[in-house]
Amino acid sequence: MTDDREKRRLDNTIMEGLRSMPEVDPPKGFSARVMENLEPKRPSAWTRFRLWLTEPRSVTFTPVRMIPVFAAAMVLLVLGFYAMDTNDSGNGMRMSTIRFVLNDSGMNARTVAVIGSFNSWQAHDAAMRFDDATGAWVLEAQLPPGDHEYMFLVDGQKLMADPLAQMTRDDGFGNRNSIVFVNGTYEQAL
């Protein structure tokens, strides 16, 4: 406790000494000389980049200057369509064309679609067309390698397994899903 009193007494003595000192103005030009000797701090690369991005700029162009831009855009567009046109699925797997056929020589169905694991069981992009020559509903689809379960959706309501499928699997809801095996170059039937 005596140490605390001693420290407080010493602090008070120093404070009184500082208060009693006369106030002196700095020499003339002192601030200017100090500021001249300070180097400006250069902003970091990230700060300079951020400022460059956020700084407003005026952009002017003429149609003649835009010709190369439009030409480059067209080349990229054509290359993009060309890349999408290839049969590669993007992960190195080869897509295969699989033909689904449902015989309907009596023309009993008005619409037929193929729904399955390859199209998230959605019929909107899998409508089949009726081939008058063969009396069958036909759809050709691009499928990646693997085994795919599918069914025919007749007239938007009736689910029907493929009568030509060699294998089926129970779907857990009382139906049998047809299975097609694709190995990357052709369809396999067991």
- In this predicted model, what pLDDT tens digit does every residue of 21-66 receive, in sequence order? 888 888 898 888 888 888 778 889 999 999 888 988 887 878 888 8
The span from the CA of 67 to the CA of 75, in Å, is 12
Question: Given a cut of 50, is residue 96 above it in pLDDT?
Answer: yes
Residue 35's pLDDT is what? 85
CA–CA gap between residue 148 and residue 177 (Å, rounded): 9
Long-range contacts of 154-158 (CB under 8 A, 24+ apart): 154/109, 154/111, 154/112, 155/109, 155/110, 155/111, 155/112, 156/111, 156/113, 156/123
Q: How many residues does the chain have?
A: 190
Rounded CA-CA distance 21/49 in Å is: 50
8 A C-beta contact, residue 150 and residue 162: yes
Domain ranges of the chain: 96-188
| Alpha helix (H) residue ranges in 21-136 | 30-37, 45-54, 63-85
- Going by CATH, does the domain composed of 96-188 fall within 2.60.40.10? yes
pTM summary value = 0.49
Confidence class of residue 128 from pLDDT cuts 50, 70 and 90? very high
Q: Stretch 88-110: mean pLDDT, rounded? A: 77
